[in-house]
Chains A and B, each alone.
Chain A
């Protein structure tokens, strides 16, 4: 069976408008415009397409939340913030297949009745922002986007697409924070409800979809929902861009059907581990997802259900492989430092908790921590979870909590039983007093 490529087809110069059009590009938008918007939503619903940005939410269902009748303008945001460590897939779309993304945006705008769409791209993607702007300009010039599209497609529908570049804030990948950022504010997440479909950009109905998600849409319109639903894992169909990084011989982005074995991705596609070393840990979906033990990878499939069963989550499909010589204390410190830096500061548990976790991990990394610090660290992590406005709390807490649960032996080996404190006063010595510790659920 030849390998199915939907998002990154192996066609030379596919990023160039003429080449894209010569392969039937923008014909799918025309086809969609000839249907009713409800039919388009229905096709995407039936296809089973789920969001590729982390939560794997059903795309068609999300679209159906948009109100049909409203006197307010409606908006679409395309999330290309891609800041999760280990994720580098959307960048491939910006570079190699921007027109399919733009066509997907057009079809989405039509389906949910949107006239203005913003592509939010992280600011550090200097080159890729320019590539998308170039592709968009070409599409505008050819009358495929904007007011002229009415004439081109013979429809009374038209929409505008703009690029909005971020400026170095991980939190703006969170959808409500992204909207605040587009509105010209600090990227603070908003309390939900109200949800974006009711109260989004400038208080208007808004849908936020990931870049990869929408790039799938033209192919679904072209080949039908049955075709898409038949690819990969039935409950999470289609292909997924898996970004493999860390200790592998051939790091990179691999487009494979959902439900592909994690071990196949690592060994068959990414060329295995340098020096044929054993794997100590794998983070399967970007740095905020719970790490899996290297001895528990057998049979794990890369789809939402497969990873849930394995005790993790698909996230953005960013697979980070760590070999047997990896110092997990140092890795966890680096991950926690990241979340501390990126916490927006609104919620106390996250703002303070990430800082305390970093401090404790620094102490551990220096060899100045005691075994009691492992439980202290665990308690701080579990006190962030569920107590914040947005999911950055979980994103920061999960790596810590699950690394401690699954690799506790590593940490115990590295910690001393007792530590000589530099200052012996009441506050410091409390760390060595016996205090009841919350039970750890494995």
Chain B
């Protein structure tokens, strides 16, 4: 599948490049733009396109993609659920909720449901320790979760 930045995103990319003295430095923000346009993940075609735009090698782009967990190397669901099980969440009961979400969706950490609606990721601390346990669905944080509340939120997604 070919990947080409849209007209709008080409404008975005050139504005991003302005912020840095070197084009290469724009790779992280540009990858975010590309990932969003590509439906939430970075394909080999995306890597190629980003490397051409920033005039760096594909290996350099790939090095960044593989290092940072927020660049997805395979497709994610329409709703990407990030669930924190780190220590503050764990102390407030994150694991039983995590188990019930996995059971409900029938997928494990890193999985995508067959209909492509949900994907699930166990994540490290997201900075919601004071409102633990928490999960993020796409870009929204849901905090102070109980098992019922978490399942209700997931069910309510259209």
Q: Spell out A's residues near B (CB within 8 Å).
A: 73, 82-88, 91, 122-127, 162, 164-170, 181-187, 202, 243-247, 251-253, 283, 287, 318, 320, 322, 326, 330-331, 334-335, 338, 341-342, 344
Contact = CB atoms under 8 A, between A and B. Distances in A.
Interface of B: 19-22, 24-29, 31-32, 54, 56, 60, 63-64, 67-71, 82, 85-88, 90-92, 123-132, 136, 139-141
Given A91-B127, A184-B22, A338-B86, A165 B29 contact: yes
B70 to A, nearest CB: 4
A170 B24 CA distance: 22
A165 to B, nearest CB: 7
A8 B141 CA distance: 22
A77 B88 CA distance: 28
B67 A169 contact: yes
Contacts of A253: 130
A244 B128 CA distance: 11
A88 B126 CA distance: 8
B129 A87 contact: yes
Contacts of A91: 127
Given A85-B87, A320-B91, A338 B132 contact: no
Contact of A331 (B26, B91, B126, B140): B91
Contacts of B70: 123-124, 166-168
Nearest to A250: B130
Contacts of A126: 136, 139-140
A243 B130 contact: yes
A88 B129 contact: yes
A341 B68 CA distance: 11
Contact of B88 (A187, A246, A342): A246
Contact of B91 (A82, A187, A252, A322): A322
Contact of A168 (B20, B68, B132): B68
Contacts of B132: 245, 251
A128 B136 CA distance: 14
Closest 7 CB pairs of A and B: A167-B68, A245-B129, A168-B69, A126-B139, A168-B70, A245-B88, A85-B125
Contacts of B29: 164-165
Contacts of A247: 91-92
Nearest to A169: B68
Given A167-B69, A168-B70, A184-B27, A86 B129 contact: yes
Contacts of A342: 124
A92 to B, nearest CB: 9
